[in-house]
Chain A
Amino acid sequence: MPKDETNEVVLKVEEIYKNYKGKEVLKGISFEVRKGEVKVIIGPSGTGKSTLLRCLNLLTVPDKGRVYLEGEEITHAKKNIHQFRQKIGMVFQDFNLFDHLTALGNVEIGLTRVKKMEREKAREKAQEELRRVGLEEQANLYPAQLSGGQKQRVSIARTLAMDPKVILFDEPTSALDPELIGEVLEVIKNLALQGMTMVLVTHEMGFARSVANEIIFMEEGKILESGPPAQLFSNPKYERTRQFLHKITELYGE
């Protein structure tokens, strides 16, 4: 994958801790994401991957630790956090499209309501983003009239429209029928080729291997090991990583 040569750090987390009612879910997570980089987070279910992603845009507030966006600490932004969130896109496992709006309306609303863009301009940009994910024909359909794959592509377009610095994907294909997974992965792959900075939680190992600059293996709220895909797949440091990769590849295929 092309890696942007500017070594600018877009997103950085330091020593993130989070517990739910005394149950420690994140136990000191640190990593950084550089511009144009694709980080893939893998790990068993219940390990805290979703919680970690939500800590990155402060949808969940970590108990301890710091989050930096382009060098600026956002952990304690409080009332201004919405300004930073505009720059951090998020794509959810179950899409979370706004059910009362058309595909176009879903992409447009961030532009008109958050960026305060004029209606005409917002519409144009929204149409362009829908074209980018191959859905200009479906612009006027409502979420309930779209297939799962189409819904996820609309949600990606909705995020893209905000021109984010980085996009977080939380298992973007896990809720999809197998035959619809490909179209969504293709869109994400294209984004990677265009140099979009991304953090991706996924179980699609073949895909992870082909787009990731680095794979992070998380277990029980900690990063067990991380490295370039080739190294992690062929020569992991820990037996645990090998076991997990083996199991997940059997389960989900390449």
Chain B
Amino acid sequence: MDKDKDKGGENASLVSLTFRLFVSPPLFNFYNYKARRRTVTENLALIFQSLPYLLEGAVVTLGLVGGSLGLGLIIGIPMAVGQVYGNKYLATLISLYVWFFRGLPELVLLFLFYFGLFTLWGLNLTAFTAAILVLGLRSAAYQSQIFRGSIQSLGEGQMLAALSLGMKKSEAILSIILPQALRVSIPGWSNEYAIILKDSAITYAIGVMELLTRANFIATRTYKPMPIFLACAVIFIFLTYGGVKALNLLEKKVRIPGYAYGRREI
């Protein structure tokens, strides 16, 4: 019946199309409790059946996120330090890197590296590894700017005081500047986590078996996109806010006493 209705509306105006898309299906279903109840049961069953498969995808997604955030962190911190304290050649080189990775769509980067550069360099990488590398290199560009901002927010007095005690610059960066800058960076970093998590779904395009790829796989085989993508969305929401929550807790845990939300308590 549903299908007949769709066919009948071929010449429909925009108004009636809108009506059919958003209003008509619920009304239609309203007169079909039984069919609807049967569909709900079937859909729930499908979700439960697919859940282990989808959750494996969620693990792959978390692997992507963990790997690329970690890579971005390891490269991003020295980049920020180089930009603030390095000589002008190093600083320029880093700016160029940031300029490149921030200037291109993620999908272009993925294709460029996975189908292009990695092959050209003779690297035989799995889609998963390639995705971590590309997302990680890209995240390094963004993370370096988070850390750079944090370092610059500290004020030069911290460095002057450390040097005046007789610390080498490198020692001062490690034991005075970074411990403070990293604390300040947690909110920005938490934002980067959420962004990377959502961006990771694009690796679908090179066939990484993450959450969305698997959801799509089931959806095309069962012709039931709605319940599957709904489940997929719910898992993504959990991952997003779960991670953000965990990072908020971390921020509270390492907060310097006397400061509340960046302001003085007393």
Would A100 and B166 be within 8 Å (CB), given that A92-B160, A144-B264 are in contact? no
Interface residue A85 (Cβ < 8 Å from any Cβ of B): yes
Would A85 and B258 be within 8 Å (CB), given that A96-B158, A99-B180, A144-B265 are in contact? no
Chain A 52-64 interface mask (CB, 8 Å, partner B; 1/0) = 0010010100000
In the bound complex, residues from chain A placing their C-beta under 8 Å from that of B180 are 98-100
- CB of A162 within 8 A of CB of B165, answer yes
Chain B 157-168 interface mask (CB, 8 Å, partner A; 1/0) = 110111111111
- CB of A113 within 8 A of CB of B163, answer no
Bound complex: CA of A90 vs CA of B157, how far in Å? 12
Interface residue A143 (Cβ < 8 Å from any Cβ of B): yes
- CB of B256 within 8 A of CB of A57, answer no
How distant is B157 from chain A, measured CB to nearest CB, in Å? 4
- CB of B164 within 8 A of CB of A85, answer yes
How distant is A57 from chain B, measured CB to nearest CB, in Å? 6
Contact of A142 among B160, B183, B257 (CB under 8 A): B257
In the complex, identify which listed stretch (B17-25, B37-45, B171-179) lies at the interface while the others stay far away: B171-179
Most A CB contacts (10 A, CB to CB) among B160, B163, B165, B168 go to B165
Interface residue A145 (Cβ < 8 Å from any Cβ of B): yes
Interface residue B266 (Cβ < 8 Å from any Cβ of A): yes
- CB of A94 within 8 A of CB of B157, answer yes
- CB of B166 within 8 A of CB of A82, answer yes
Bound complex: CA of A59 vs CA of B163, how far in Å? 8
Bound complex: CA of A97 vs CA of B164, how far in Å? 12
- CB of B158 within 8 A of CB of A82, answer no
Would A100 and B161 be within 8 Å (CB), given that A83-B166, A162-B166 are in contact? no
- Interface size of A by Cβ–Cβ distance < 8 Å? 32
Contact of A59 among B164, B259, B265 (CB under 8 A): B164
Closest to A60 in B: B160
Would A86 and B166 be within 8 Å (CB), given that A59-B160, A96-B160 are in contact? yes
- Interface size of B by Cβ–Cβ distance < 8 Å? 24
Bound complex: CA of A99 vs CA of B168, how far in Å? 19
Bound complex: CA of A14 vs CA of B229, how far in Å? 77
In the bound complex, residues from chain B placing their C-beta under 8 Å from that of A110 are 165-167
How distant is A248 from chain B, measured CB to nearest CB, in Å? 25
In the bound complex, residues from chain B placing their C-beta under 8 Å from that of A155 are 161
How distant is A122 from chain B, measured CB to nearest CB, in Å? 13
Bound complex: CA of A144 vs CA of B258, how far in Å? 5
Interface residue A109 (Cβ < 8 Å from any Cβ of B): yes
In the bound complex, residues from chain B placing their C-beta under 8 Å from that of A158 are 165
In the bound complex, residues from chain A placing their C-beta under 8 Å from that of B164 are 57, 59, 85, 88-90, 159
Would A96 and B175 be within 8 Å (CB), given that A57-B164, A145-B258 are in contact? no
In the bound complex, residues from chain A placing their C-beta under 8 Å from that of B163 are 59, 82, 85
In the bound complex, residues from chain B placing their C-beta under 8 Å from that of A98 are 158, 161-162, 176, 180
Would A100 and B179 be within 8 Å (CB), given that A92-B160, A144-B265, A145-B257 are in contact? yes
How distant is A123 from chain B, measured CB to nearest CB, in Å? 16
Query: Beyond A98-B161, A100-B180: 15 further Cβ-contacts under 8 Å?
Result: A57-B164, A82-B166, A83-B166, A85-B166, A88-B164, A97-B161, A98-B162, A98-B176, A99-B256, A99-B259, A100-B256, A114-B167, A145-B257, A155-B161, A159-B164
Q: Write the residues of chain A forming the contact surface with B, with a CB cutoff of 8 angstroms.
A: 54, 57, 59, 82-90, 92, 94, 96-100, 109-110, 113-114, 141-145, 155, 158-159, 162
Instruction: Pick 28 A–B contacts, CB within 8 A, sort by A.
Output: A54-B160, A57-B164, A59-B164, A82-B166, A84-B166, A85-B166, A86-B165, A86-B166, A88-B164, A92-B157, A92-B161, A96-B160, A97-B161, A98-B180, A99-B158, A100-B179, A100-B256, A109-B165, A110-B166, A113-B175, A114-B167, A141-B257, A142-B256, A143-B258, A144-B256, A145-B266, A158-B165, A162-B165
